[in-house]
Amino acid sequence: MATDFPNSPANGATHTFGGTTYTYSTSVGAWTAASSGGGGGASVTVSETAPSSPAEGDLWFDPSVLKTFVYYNDGTANQWVQSNPTGSGGGGSAGASVTASDTAPSSPSAGDLWYKSDTNALYVYYNDGDSSQWVGVSGPAGATGAAGATGATGATGPAGATGVISNLDTWRITSDITSDAVPITTWSNAAAYTTLQPTLGTAMSHSSGLFTFPATGYWEVQFFAQWDISGNDNMNIGIQCYESDGTTLRTISQATVGDSSYLKQINLTSYLNITNVSTQKVQFYTNSISNASLEGDSTRDKTYVVFKRIAASV
């Protein structure tokens, strides 16, 4: 059934035919069908590859070869059949042409197809008996849909060991020790005497020779001992720590120094993995003293210990 499109339409003029409303665009020079949300007739696809799930009567325009195909069932099988062959055998006339261009062909004939390449729209040149015009058979691609919601954030991985020193604390003995002391109890925090040796982070707690750590972690513990030896002697110093059960006391490191009539310096360093601050406490000792004294001073470091938290517990 033919339809009579208005002659010399103005931009935005509309014409309804077969349930479809067409709108005239002076910028395109063609009637374009409005898109519809409902189902309906055959679809038109513009692509270099055939549609994957076509229905009978669907149109497919292949811009790579400028040909249009219709999906056709001959009673035996479905196939894409070229709808506008560009030539004929023998002396027959040529079929409708297909033009791919941003602008409409200048001298079209009824039945010609124009693929508007800048908007991916397909038009057919139609004569309704009074006038000829380009009528859209497929619109340009619709706008890109809104982005989907952001997926849920994945689970946070385990934290790595902290590599920054978070605690640093220095304690010293304030007077000489001339006999065995297990543990040594005469400790004073160096930060209490001078602002030049402040505690970094929370300080260690001390009671009756036992030091309590302010936080779990991997700790470096150093013991620096200065001796004044007045005669032949061999003295010991050591670092001891309780296991997590709070009752098993381990000697972690020990050293011996001996000579006659000399000042001597001896150092110990241990690394402790502290996982329970309530039970894992540390102490320092000296023994086997007979002709020597372990030097102490309330104003400077002679015999002293340093606590340094270097990482999280492992």
How does strand 132-138 pair with strand 30-33? parallel
Quick: pLDDT tens for 98-125. 788 888 888 888 878 888 878 878 888 8
When mean pLDDT is compared across 73-77, 84-88, 285-289, the lowest value belongs to 84-88
pLDDT of residue 258: 83
Per-residue pLDDT band at 201 (split at 50, 70, 90):
very high
Per-residue pLDDT band at 300 (split at 50, 70, 90):
very high
Cβ within 8 Å of residue 228, ≥6 positions away: 176, 263, 292, 293, 295
The structure's pTM equals: 0.50
Angle at 214 between CA 194 and CA 300, to 5 degrees: 25
Quick: pLDDT tens for 158-191. 766 556 899 999 999 999 999 999 999 999 999 9
User: Percent helix, strand, coil in the chain (nearest 5)?
Assistant: 0, 45, 55
If one compares 212 and 128, the residue with the highest pLDDT of the two is: 212
CA 223 to chain centre: 45
Quick: pLDDT tens for 233-250. 889 999 999 999 999 999
Quick: pLDDT tens for 275-290. 999 999 999 999 999 9
CA 158 to chain centre: 15
pLDDT at 42 over 80: no
pLDDT at 85 over 70: no
What would the mean pLDDT of 130-138 be, rounded to a whole number?
Answer: 80
Q: CB–CB of 128/4 below 8 Å? A: yes
pLDDT of residue 236: 94
pLDDT of residue 35: 53
Q: What percent of the chain has pLDDT over 70?
A: 87
Q: How far apart are CA 49 and CA 80, in angstroms?
A: 12
Q: What is the DSSP string of 70-136?
A: EEEE-SS-EEEEESS-S--STTPPP---EEEESS--SS--TT-EEEETTTTEEEEEEE-SS-EEEEE
Residue 163 structure tokens:
């590599």
What would the mean pLDDT of 206-213 be, rounded to a whole number?
Answer: 98
Q: How far apart are CA 29 and CA 174, in angstroms?
A: 101
**Mean pLDDT across the chain, nearest whole number?**
84
Closest CA to 138 of 162, 119, 165, 164: 119
**What radius of gyration do the chain's Cα atoms show?**
47
